[in-house]
Amino acid sequence: MGRKKKLPTGVSSGGSHASSAPKSVGGCCVPLGLPQPLLLEEKKFLLAVERGDMPNVRRILQKALRHQHININCMDPLGRRALTLAIDNENLEMVELLVVMGVETKDALLHAINAEFVEAVELLLEHEELIYKEGEPYSWQKVDINTAMFAPDITPLMLAAHKNNFEILRILLDRGAAVPVPHDIRCGCEECVRLTAEDSLRHSLSRVNIYRALCSPSLICLTSNDPIITAFQLSWELRNLALTEQECKSEYMDLRRQCQKFAVDLLDQTRTSNELAIILNYDPQMSSYEPGDRMSLTRLVQAISYKQKKFVAHSNIQQLLSSIWYDGLPGFRRKSIVDKVICIAQVAVLFPLYCLIYMCAPNCRTGQLMRKPFMKFLIHASSYLFFLFILILVSQRADDDFVRIFGTTRMKKELAEQELRQRGQTPSKLELIVVLYVIGFVWEEVQEIFAVGMKSYLRNMWNFIDFLRNSLYVSVMCLRAFAYIQQATEIARDPQMAYIPREKWHDFDPQLIAEGLFAAANVFSALKLVHLFSINPHLGPLQISLGRMVIDIVKFFFIYTLVLFAFACGLNQLLWYFAALEKSKCYVLPGGEADWGSHGDSCMKWRRFGNLFESSQSLFWASFGMVGLDDFELSGIKSYTRFWGLLMFGSYSVINVIVLLNLLIAMMSNSYAMIDEHSDTEWKFARTKLWMSYFEDSATLPPPFNVLPSVKWVIRIFRKSSKTIDRQRSKKRKEQEQFSEYDNIMRSLVWRYVAAMHRKFEDNPVSEDDINEVKSEINTMRYEMLEIFENSGMDVSSANKKERQPRPRRIKVWERRLMKGFQVAPVQNGCEPDAFGNVNGQGEMREIKVESIPSKPAKETAKERFQRVARTVLLQSTAHKWNVVLRAAKDSQIGRCTKNEQKSLQNLGRAIEEAKRLIMLNPGCPSGRESPIRIEFEDEKTSTLLELLNQISAEISDSEKPKIRPTWRPPLKTVPARAMAANNTRSLTAPELKISRKSSPAPTPTPTPGVSHTALSQFRNRELPLCPSKLIANSAPAAPTAPPKKSEPTAAPPTYKPTTHAPFSVEGGNRGNTRTSDGVRSDNSNFDIHVVDLDEKGGHLGRDNVSDISSIASTSPQRPKHRN
């Protein structure tokens, strides 16, 4: 037979990996792109890697790189390669061996990052930089998407950020790796449009993966100069993404909570009030904070605007805010409740005096006390309570009652005259006070808008109530002014118009409209008092729950209004005619007036369903029991119509009362439960917003004193000019000092955070993985020690006789699945005839052009059968090509090594080249010894491949060419079962070869000179070792060749007599020759049978010459090339 055709490194020839069709496992096809069944040698290879058997792995790799009889890049049924197994076991020596010996890394770098194996990451990064070529995809991008463990858009830096591994991230960032910047979700650029059109799901998932990487605390610490504000901005952006892309809302909200937690964890590392003050008061546009200065709390304002509730409610911040809040009132918090009430009542009663003192002398002791936040709050609250008291007096007409009780006779007469003159009246004194307050409120809101901006102003929901209240009061003032001018004009034309009673006014008289708006404004004014409850720990959570319930009520009314409108339309359509009959009975008086005395019932009933608006009102009040069945007893109504009306009304009552109202109650209960669960955080956040409104440099004087001129206005004008000059003088120097101080504190916080994170990781209890790692290291050391002992000439054969070492259950399950041919694939009925692909055992998709495959003749000899199989394999193996060309990476995903790492990178490259050179220069076995420990596994089965080879040998020996002398073969029972099992899976590689069991007599063997019969019997009874490093081509003696032709030089005669043939292996090749003992090949035919003698042992035939049964190669027959 000829020599085996050399294939690219890592791609197996023949066997299960050379077939062009998907593998059949258990009668079903393995789908394209999934891991294929493994050869027995490949299973041994993976088992050796898993067990940490360095000597056997090294021998297998050396043999594989010379003969390429197995695929060193094969995968187990779960898609794990040898490098993956070594990384999972954290066996750095094994990883180094596999990389140096040329095993393809594929996505091993991502696996190392996922396993947080730092040493392997450094090695694989250097290897990737060594083999990467510009414009080509990286190694992990070459993995088929069907078997890839990671998404195609995952980069090493992104995966390290997902794992939040500080050390690996630092390595990648030092090399210059970068995280891709995500586009805005509403981006309409060409790239986003293209990616969305190609695969919208992948585009969305890639955005989620990028944000998951950006939210990594370790990545933020390493890349951001201000981690706290970065966490705030990411949290807010993720909130907007969750609202925009509802499909991934849960993922974005989880990432948002992660960012919030990171900011809180950084805040936990603050240790002094000075550090906390510098962090909270940092503002690049203002001068640096010095102890004793007024705190601007810029960072806290940003936290509130970004809704960082846990950050704001942190105990460190609350303690600092409390000290600022009660500044100027030492010992107030330690007073008893009675003393606190007396102090607050004193300020509430004397607030006008405090305001007057501040207006006249703002820098006096009392004026400075009024600038304190708590005193400012008490004075503003007292002023607002006084405003509500004025509203109560106005609504009760207290000025008229005061005149009646304490007024003089003249005042009483004027009051009686005013009661008769109901039109054209001027505002009362109490109403003028209300007008003054309203002007103060409007001026206060205008100042706030200019101070914080319209956008920040609208974020506070209480500002909407203030705006609505002020708008209503301004509308009342305008309407009252318009009504006064209108009525004064009427009275000037006719003085009797002043005495028209209210019941005779027009329905939409401006003064009546003004009174309605004034009543609504009073309601909103009273509700604003709830905002002050936020400061109380008992009423604060209730106020927050009320706000949440208002939102629930608004949501509920959308559904309720729809149901109400639907039934109102139906009832109005059904009963409008009969309601019109009732209306005609009501309006019977002259002038079209309603007769409430005689037909009051008809006047009530017609309004129930007279039009769509009245029908809607009736159904609304029906929810509160204000509409009964009597309202359906209309004039002239028929029984059928009445039945349908009552049926619709009953259906509405069931839907409204039983379903919708209970739904509203459930929603409100859920809102309260959510608030109650986080009541402390919610209340502290709401209280902080209230506190911050008084920390700001806002108006000290409350309405209406804020609209009155004061001395402070003049002082503020001159102080502004002086501050501008001072700020311009030292702005640059202060900014540099502030940044340096803030940067030093942030570095300290980051260092403490990372150190605490590592301490927390080290404090974790010992896990099962840690124990398995120790076991793996001990097992590896055992194999290495045995190899050292063997190399030193010691007898280590006793190591084979030891009992099997206990292994973890996870390893046992993996080995069982590996040996049983377990495949992670759906069960299929059969394989389609044209489904060719995935032939290299790596799960990589290939496009194959199937040309005319030779058909199987009815009768064919073994020689013809081999020729047909080889021709078929050649046609298919030459048609393989990639069907997808990956475009070059735009940005560097791993960067480049630094100058300090150049030496390590060069050493790795030299090690790889040296390993290749040594293998090529030394084709023989590097060690003359067997493996100290055989690779054993459970459930080994015998194979019938040996019988097939004996049959083929007999058929070929009977043919004319090549002439092979009949030799003695030992009985099959003398061949060890382990040697037969070595080719178990290879019997599946050529399904056309029919296996026939034939027995042949064993002729008397020819004795070999120099070898005793005892030695022969001892050698014959030995097991065939499963050492994968033994080489068939160089170790086995060959059959004698035919006499050379005259034109060819005669080979030197061997030093021993030609041996008989024993069980052998067949190698397909392109040249027909037989290897003699001196390595000279002689022509035989298109095929060469290479026989390994297992029965005779001479001085030249030692243990090193014994080898395994090799695999059948995939080659095509060619014309023999004769030697000159």
Q: Read off the pLDDT of residues 768-814 as tens digits, 9 standing for 90 and up.
A: 666 766 777 787 777 778 778 878 878 777 665 444 555 665 666 66
pLDDT at site 948: 37
Distances (CA, A) of 666 to 549, 552, 677: 11, 10, 16
**In angstroms, what CA-CA distances link 713 with 359, 716, 718, 719, 938?**
9, 5, 9, 10, 94
Contact (Cβ atoms closer than 8 angstroms) between residue 466 and residue 441: yes
Contact between residue 663 and residue 557 where contact means Cβ atoms under 8 Å apart: no
Beta-bridge mates of residue 28: 25
Instruction: pLDDT band for 757, please (50, 70, 90 cuts).
Output: confident
Length of the chain: 1124
Domain coordinates in residue numbering, the chain: 1-30+847-881+944-1124, 35-246+773-781+897-921, 335-420, 422-533, 545-685
Count of other CB atoms within 10 angstroms of residue 757: 16
What pLDDT is attached to residue 1031? 35
Cα 761 to Cα 64, 758, 767, 977, distances in angstroms? 42, 5, 12, 50
What pLDDT is stored for residue 963 in this prediction? Answer: 41
Q: Which residues contact 211 (CB under 8 A, 6 or more apart)?
A: 182, 234, 238, 241, 252, 255
Q: What pLDDT score was predicted for residue 805?
A: 55
Q: Which residues, 6 or more positions from 553, have their beta carbon under 8 angstroms from its beta carbon?
A: 664, 668
Other C-beta atoms lying within 10 Å of the C-beta of residue 949? 22
Task: Tell me the per-residue pLDDT of 315-356, one tens digit each, with 9 for 90 and over.
Answer: 999 999 999 999 888 888 888 999 989 999 999 999 999 999
pLDDT for 374 equals: 92
Measure the CA–CA gap between 235 and 303, rounded to whole angstroms. 11
On whether the CB atoms of residues 30 and 825 are closer than 8 A, the answer is yes
Q: Are strands 1065-1066 and 1073-1075 parallel, antiparallel or unpaired?
A: unpaired
Please give the residue that has the higher pLDDT: either 440 or 459: 440
Dihedral angle computed from the Cα positions of residues 789, 795, 796 and 800, in that order, rounded to the nearest 10 degrees: 170
Residue 155's nearest CA partner among 889, 884, 842, 898 is 889
> What mean pLDDT do residues 1021-1031 have?
36
Task: Decide: 443 and 707 in contact? Cβ < 8 Å.
Answer: yes
The CATH number given to 35-246+773-781+897-921 is: 1.25.40.20
DSSP label of 708 = S
Which residues in 132-150 are b (16+ Cβ under 10 Å) and which e?
Answer: beeeeebbbbbbbeebbbb
**Residue % of the chain over a pLDDT of 70:** 66
The arithmetic mean of pLDDT across residues 900-917, rounded, is: 75
Residue 713 has pLDDT above 70, yes or no: yes
How many whole angstroms separate alpha carbon 3 and alpha carbon 1018? 32
What kind and span of H or E run contains 951?
helix 945-958
438 vs 541, residue with greater confidence? 438
Residue 490 has pLDDT above 70, yes or no: yes
Contacts 24+ apart (CB under 8 A), 418-425: 420/499, 421/498, 421/499, 422/498, 422/499, 422/500, 422/501, 422/502, 423/487, 423/490, 423/491, 423/497, 423/498, 423/499, 423/500, 423/511, 424/484, 424/487, 424/488, 424/490, 424/491, 424/498, 425/484
* Percent above pLDDT 90 for the chain: 27
What average pLDDT does range 111-139 have in this prediction?
90
Q: Could you tell me the pLDDT band of residue 634, with boundaries at 50, 70 and 90?
A: confident
Cα 363 to Cα 711: distance, rounded to the nearest angstrom: 10
User: Half-sphere exposure (CA, 13 Å, Cβ side) for 1122?
Assistant: 9
Assign 3-class secondary structure to 341-371.
Answer: HHHHHHHHHCHHHHHHHHHHCCCCHHHHHHC
Encode 768-793 in three state secondary structure: HHHHHHHHHHHHHHHHHHHHHHHHCC
In angstroms, how far is the first alpha carbon of the chain from the final one?
A: 19
786-790 LR contacts (CB < 8 Å, sep 24+): 786/55, 786/932, 786/933, 787/54, 787/55, 787/932, 789/932, 790/929, 790/932
- In 456-558, where do the E strands start and end? none
- The answer to whether 233 touches 243, Cβ cutoff 8 Å, is no
pLDDT score at 973: 39
More confident residue, 871 or 744: 744
Distance CA 532, CA 543 (A): 9
Residue 7: pLDDT band (50, 70, 90) is very low
Q: Which residues contact 496 (CB under 8 A, 6 or more apart)?
A: none
Q: In the structure, what pLDDT confidence band is assigned to residue 1010 with cuts at 50, 70 and 90?
A: very low
Q: How far does Cα 314 stand from its chain's mean position?
A: 27
Q: How far apart are CA 716 and CA 362, in angstroms?
A: 11
Cβ distance 525 to 388 under 8 Å? yes
920 vs 73: CA distance, rounded Å: 20
H or E element that contains 905 = helix 902-921
Of 103-107, 119-123, 1057-1061, give the lowest mean pLDDT range: 1057-1061
The residue written with tokens 């013809």 in the block is 864
Give residue 900's pLDDT band: very low, low, confident or very high (50, 70, 90): low
Only one residue has tokens 């209108």, namely: 486
In terms of Cβ atoms closer than 10 Å to its own Cβ (0-12, 13-18, 19+), residue 179 is buried
Beta-strand pair 880-881/1065-1066: unpaired
The DSSP letter of residue 514 is H
Cα–Cα distance between 526 and 387 in angstroms, integer?
Answer: 10
Instruction: Please choose, from the candidates 177, 224, 299, the residue with its C-alpha nearest in 3D space to the C-alpha of residue 895.
Output: 177
Kindly report, residue by residue over 856-886, the tens digit of the pLDDT: 565 667 767 666 666 665 555 444 433 333 3
**DSSP-assigned letter for residue 20:** S
Does position 1108 have pLDDT exceeding 60, yes or no?
A: no
Axis crossing angle, helix 661-677 with helix 679-695, rounded to the nearest 10 = 70
- Signed CA dihedral, 577, 579, 585, 591: sign only: negative
| Chain position carrying tokens 């990372």 | 754
pLDDT, average across residues 489-497:
89
Asked whether residue 943 carries a pLDDT value surpassing 60, the answer given is: no
User: What per-residue confidence (pLDDT) applies to 672?
Assistant: 84
273 CB neighbour count, 10 Å cutoff? 13
Burial class (CB in 10 A: 0-12, 13-18, 19+), 194: exposed
- pLDDT at residue 930 above 80? no
pLDDT digits (tens, 9 = 90+) for 248-306: 999 999 999 999 999 999 999 999 998 999 999 888 877 677 777 778 888 999 999 99
Q: What is the pLDDT of residue 276?
A: 92
Return the SS3 of 848.
strand
Residue 82, pLDDT above cutoff 90: yes
Q: What is the pLDDT of residues 563-596, one digit of tens each?
A: 999 999 999 999 989 888 888 888 888 877 778 8
- Identify whether the C-beta of residue 42 lies closer than 8 Å to the C-beta of residue 13: no
User: Comparing C-alpha atoms, which of 297, 324, 323 is closest to residue 311?
Assistant: 297
Specify whether the CB–CB gap between 305 and 459 falls below 8 A: yes
For the stretch 185-244, pLDDT in tens is 888 888 888 888 888 888 899 999 999 999 999 999 999 989 999 999 999 999 999 999
Q: DSSP secondary-structure letter at 658? A: I
**What mean pLDDT value characterizes the chain?**
74
User: Is it the case that residue 698 has pLDDT exceeding 90?
Assistant: no
CA neighbor of 1039 nearest in space, from 1107, 1104, 1091, 1105: 1091
- Say if residues 1115 and 1069 touch (Cβ distance below 8 Å): yes
The pLDDT-based confidence of 737 (bands split at 50, 70, 90) is low
848, β-bridge pairs: 880
State the Cα–Cα distance between residues 279 and 297, nearest whole angstrom: 9
More confident residue, 419 or 491: 491
Q: Which uninterrupted H or E stretch holds 847?
A: strand 847-848
Categorize the per-residue pLDDT at 921 as very low, low, confident or very high, splitting at 50, 70 and 90.
Answer: low
What confidence tier does 734 reach under pLDDT thresholds 50, 70, 90? low
At 793 the pLDDT is 78
Question: Does residue 908 have a pLDDT over 50?
Answer: yes
Nearest Cα to Cα of residue 863 among 1040, 1036, 993:
993
Give the model's confidence band at 742: pLDDT under 50 very low, under 70 low, under 90 confident, else very high: confident
| Residue 636 pLDDT level (bands cut at 50, 70, 90) | confident
Question: Around Cβ 512, how many Cβ atoms within 10 Å?
Answer: 15
Q: What is the pLDDT of residues 373-417, one digit of tens each?
A: 999 999 999 999 999 999 999 999 888 888 888 888 888 888 888
pLDDT score of 315: 93
What pLDDT is stored for residue 939 in this prediction? 43
- DSSP element (H, E) containing 863: helix 862-877
